[in-house]
Chain A
């Protein structure tokens, strides 16, 4: 007997082959009119009205085509700037708490540690206390510390006591959209990348472009090191990343402070470091297709990749800090500045018009 997965695959293949038969049963009642269709897509249908519309559309090719058209042309939710709430509301207290936690863990509670006043080499101690390549940590769980760490319990307590971004403060985690989401949303599950301060004694080792790294083990550390290279404040206690999901979930990008661009084509299992436009401090991105991605940043930075591999800087009329981008395709995108103004392009970023 075949395994269950093989059976699922066989029925999947048959459904693809028999797709025209899925709408053979005639729809009941009249077709859904445009006004009802619009109400449906805006979530204004409920109860009997929604059930009736679904019942009809389940057997009506025309209505299914209209629904498909609506789904394909639905605008993406506007991406909120991921860094603003983090920076303004949480970065300072989070950094202070994390520093306090590190000091508390490494100085006061280390086994056999001398009195704080006699601590000679904080850098070495920090390096010993924090693993070099910390794993990704789920935001909604207590941070997981490697079992091998002697400081696991105190660190977990300290981290748990540190302020954490509220769920409602984050951009909506909706992988149906292509907009940027906060802090490494992978496969619909929220993850944080928590990186330690870069060890003072560890020099940055450049990695070749297009190197594939394993996300759980290496990429977070890579991001942390690259962030450290960019001079993140104090080495960056917390490095937030933005993940950009394309319509095909396997294809996604990850941005990290200040200008690190990673791409995955296997749903986030492995990531490839890409060479982005120089001098960018990235804030948000939007991927309307698997190989198309728009990124924006501070000081009017706009970048576009249309092949999923290379990036081109696009001119922008102002040096304004850009907070969000919503892309329709490789030609059309809407950019929102930090102060709420919007600019549109329909020619791939060659020209921009301010939206009224």
Chain B
């Protein structure tokens, strides 16, 4: 994502003012280095008003990141003192007693920039552009690493023994049913629901995914969508009603089912154990308790 936008020159007067506002001299950051960070941030973003964009940055955090990237001792001391607890708290919240702390610790090497290229340290801070606070950015970097580690770990795990068990589970309920259409009804409803969900807006799908797939609370879902939890609840209820109506419409229009048959579709689908969730990394047990 670095350096994607067109290069736009930042007026020197603006650089000097922002340098002063950021108090970058606290960390012995030169104005040239700070100007380069501003330029990188502006290039990364596609803001129409570059002045307004730059003034809206977390300038002090950007200056701190510049200082840390340059290996300034004072900046590092401040960073470790202020942000290490934040990182550890986030790690503990993600994986209580797990390996997230190790991942958090491993971040420091990358943040410090152990590798060098052409005599320049390659610090992870070069990806920080000041659009968020350093604390939020650190949590995002940690989240990215934890998620990738979890997904990689899942890929290495053997599939559950169980194709037989899947079949036996899936066949158990239909076998007990006297309705020969039961399996077909369940499949029709699942297809209709899947298509109805796919037809929702991206925001509605994201809200559903946060709440149902990721099992976030209403409040946590609201943090993602920047909505109050009451608003999330209202939107979810509205979406459920819309989904129900759309599923019924599809079953009636596309599959020619009458009202009684549609009711049976829902009834059978609710009784059906459904396919096993092989996307196990999405399951609740891979995360901390959702209430935390």
- CB within 8 Å of B: which residues of A? 1-2, 4, 7-8, 10-25, 33-39, 41-45, 49, 51, 54-55, 57-59, 61-62, 64-75, 174-177, 187-188, 246-249, 288-290, 328-329, 332, 344, 356
With both chains docked as a complex, state the minimum distance between the C-beta of B61 and any C-beta of chain A, in angstroms. 11
Q: Contact: B136 with A42, CB < 8 Å?
A: yes
Q: Contact: B223 with A74, CB < 8 Å?
A: yes
Q: Contact: B127 with A34, CB < 8 Å?
A: yes
Q: How far apart are the CA atoms of A20 and B240 in the complex, in Å?
A: 17
Contact with B237, one of A8, A20, A329, A356 (Cβ below 8 angstroms): A8
Within 8 A of A (CB), among B231-264: 237, 240-241, 243-244, 247, 259, 263
Report A-chain residues with C-beta under 8 Å of the C-beta of B114. Answer: none
Contact with A20, one of B127, B131, B136, B282 (Cβ below 8 angstroms): B282
Q: Contact: A20 with B213, CB < 8 Å?
A: yes
Report B-chain residues with C-beta under 8 Å of the C-beta of A39. Answer: 131-132
Known: A61-B279, A72-B216. A55 touches B202 (CB 8 A): yes
Q: How far apart are the CA atoms of A336 and B83 in the complex, in Å?
A: 18
Contact with A along B179-198 (1 / 0, CB 8 A): 00000000001100110011
Beyond A14-B269, A58-B206, 8 extra complex contacts between A and B, CB < 8 Å:
A12-B240, A15-B193, A34-B143, A35-B44, A38-B131, A38-B139, A69-B139, A70-B140
Q: How far apart are the CA atoms of A61 and B277 in the complex, in Å?
A: 14
Interface residues on B, range: 35 or more
Q: Contact: A22 with B92, CB < 8 Å?
A: no
Contact with A44, one of B56, B150, B243, B282 (Cβ below 8 angstroms): B56
Q: Contact: A38 with B136, CB < 8 Å?
A: yes
Report B-chain residues with C-beta under 8 Å of the C-beta of A1. Answer: 259, 263
Contact with A11, one of B44, B89, B240 (Cβ below 8 angstroms): B240
Report B-chain residues with C-beta under 8 Å of the C-beta of A43. Answer: 226
Report A-chain residues with C-beta under 8 Å of the C-beta of B288. Answer: 72
Q: Contact: B216 with A71, CB < 8 Å?
A: yes
Say yes or no: is B17 at the interface (Cβ < 8 Å to chain A): no
Report A-chain residues with C-beta under 8 Å of the C-beta of B269. Answer: 14, 17
Q: How far apart are the CA atoms of A67 and B216 in the complex, in Å?
A: 10
Q: Contact: B140 with A247, CB < 8 Å?
A: no
Q: Contact: A21 with B194, CB < 8 Å?
A: yes
With both chains docked as a complex, state the minimum distance between the C-beta of A13 and any C-beta of chain B, in angstroms. 6
Say yes or no: is B72 at the interface (Cβ < 8 Å to chain A): no
Say yes or no: is B117 at the interface (Cβ < 8 Å to chain A): no
Say yes or no: is B266 at the interface (Cβ < 8 Å to chain A): yes
Say yes or no: is B222 at the interface (Cβ < 8 Å to chain A): yes
Q: Contact: A35 with B202, CB < 8 Å?
A: no
Known: A15-B240, A329-B92. A38 touches B132 (CB 8 A): yes
Report B-chain residues with C-beta under 8 Å of the C-beta of A187. Answer: 230
Contact with A22, one of B137, B212, B287 (Cβ below 8 angstroms): B212
With both chains docked as a complex, state the minimum distance between the C-beta of A324 and any C-beta of chain B, in angstroms. 17
Q: Contact: A176 with B46, CB < 8 Å?
A: no
Q: Contact: B89 with A332, CB < 8 Å?
A: yes
Q: Contact: A246 with B291, CB < 8 Å?
A: yes
Q: Contact: A34 with B206, CB < 8 Å?
A: no
Which residue on B lies nearest to A331, using beta carbons? B92
Q: Contact: B93 with A73, CB < 8 Å?
A: yes
Say yes or no: is B19 at the interface (Cβ < 8 Å to chain A): no
Report A-chain residues with C-beta under 8 Å of the C-beta of B29. Answer: none
Residue among B146, B193, B218, B291 having the largest count of chain A Cβ atoms under 10 Å = B291
Q: Contact: A62 with B147, CB < 8 Å?
A: yes
Which residue on B lies nearest to A7, using beta carbons? B244
Within 8 A of A (CB), among B124-170: 127-129, 131-133, 135-137, 139-144, 146-148, 150-151
Which residue on B lies nearest to A173, using beta carbons? B228
Q: How far apart are the CA atoms of A44 and B53 in the complex, in Å?
A: 10
Residue among B141, B142, B219, B247 having the largest count of chain A Cβ atoms under 10 Å = B219
With both chains docked as a complex, state the minimum distance between the C-beta of B160 and any C-beta of chain A, in angstroms. 14
With both chains docked as a complex, state the minimum distance between the C-beta of B47 and any C-beta of chain A, in angstroms. 9
Which residue on B lies nearest to A287, using beta carbons? B291
Report B-chain residues with C-beta under 8 Å of the C-beta of A248. Answer: 217, 291
Q: How far apart are the CA atoms of A41 and B135 in the complex, in Å?
A: 11
With both chains docked as a complex, state the minimum distance between the C-beta of B186 and any C-beta of chain A, in angstroms. 10
| List of 7 A-B pairs having minimum Cβ-Cβ separation, nearest first | A69-B143, A38-B132, A39-B131, A68-B214, A176-B219, A42-B132, A71-B220
Q: Contact: A72 with B132, CB < 8 Å?
A: no
With both chains docked as a complex, state the minimum distance between the C-beta of A111 and any C-beta of chain B, in angstroms. 43
With both chains docked as a complex, state the minimum distance between the C-beta of B227 and any C-beta of chain A, in angstroms. 9
